[in-house]
Amino acid sequence: MIAGLFVPCYIDQFYPEVAINTLQLLEKLGCQVKFPMNQTCCGQPMANSGFAHLAKKCDDLFIENFAGLDYIVCPSGSCTLHIKEHLHSKTDEATATNLRKVVYELTEFLTDVLKIGHLPAEFNHKVSLHQSCHGLRGLMLSQMSELMASPFSKPTQLLKMVKGIELVDLDRPDECCGFGGTFCVTEEAVSVKMGKDRVMDHLHHHTEVITGVDMSCLMHMEGILKRMKSPVKVKHIAEILNHQY
């Protein structure tokens, strides 16, 4: 099985350790990983701002980089969802359609494709999970709390396999953090207030580490935590699933 590693641009620039842990985890679980060196932004920021037509070259480059691979794995729910729903090509729509079908966010790849039942990981900390909107409501990684349906959570399923971890339940398990990509720029005050409310739910339950599948959400909350001078850390779920003492 050859899995292409799709690394969002903000992870590449600010959180390379997330990409490294994702690579190590996939290889540890038996995947042959290919990392196209000339990959760039998927075009999501432009599309979110109403300029999807300016992202066509991003689409073409993505297709050029990842065509022919068995799967594409990404440590970001929002970027994964963007490709799943918006990748198109004027010259090779058949390839674009196929790529939309084989791109997976990391935790859904581990649960739905590899069907992992055990992880050689250990993380002796109290951890709370932030469920990002793209992952929860777009990729359906977890059940939405407002629905009268059986609960499930792919990220939680994996975290429970980590030795020594203590998972903390939140009062509002699927509330938005307020980041929202360009929303945090155009609606700064609202974004910050939502972020503070989200962070306080985690702090109220005395968590030590906030994790999630979207480093963008964690980045937003990390900034708030630092300004509060809180000792609470944020870690992408790949860093925990790959962690060993």
Count of domains observed in the chain? 2
| Mean pLDDT across the chain | 95
pLDDT at 184: 80
Mean pLDDT by 10 residues, the chain (245 residues): 95 97 98 96 86 89 97 97 95 97 98 97 98 94 92 97 97 92 84 95 98 96 97 98 91
Residue 236 is assigned to a structural domain of this protein: yes
Question: How would DSSP label each residue in 165-213?
Answer: -EEEP-SSTT---S-TTTHHHHTHHHHHHHHHHHHHHHHHTT-SEEEES
Tell me if 121 is assigned to some domain. Answer: no
User: Same domain for 93 and 174?
Assistant: no
Domain range for 104: 2-113
Number of Cβ atoms within 10 Å of the Cβ of 124: 12
Same domain, 103 and 143: no
- Supply the pLDDT for residue 109: 98
pLDDT of residue 227: 96
| Domain-located, residue 215 | yes
Q: Which of 154, 125, 131, 156 is nearest to 243 (CA)?
A: 125
- Residue 185 is predicted with a pLDDT of 77
20 in Cβ contact with 12 (< 8 Å)? no
135 with 234, same domain: the answer is yes
**Same domain as 98, residue 131:** no
Does 118 fall in a domain?
no
Task: Locate 73 and state its tokens.
Answer: 């794995």
In sequence order, what are the residues at sequence separation of 6 or more whose Cβ sits closer than 8 angstroms to the Cβ of residue 88? 59, 96
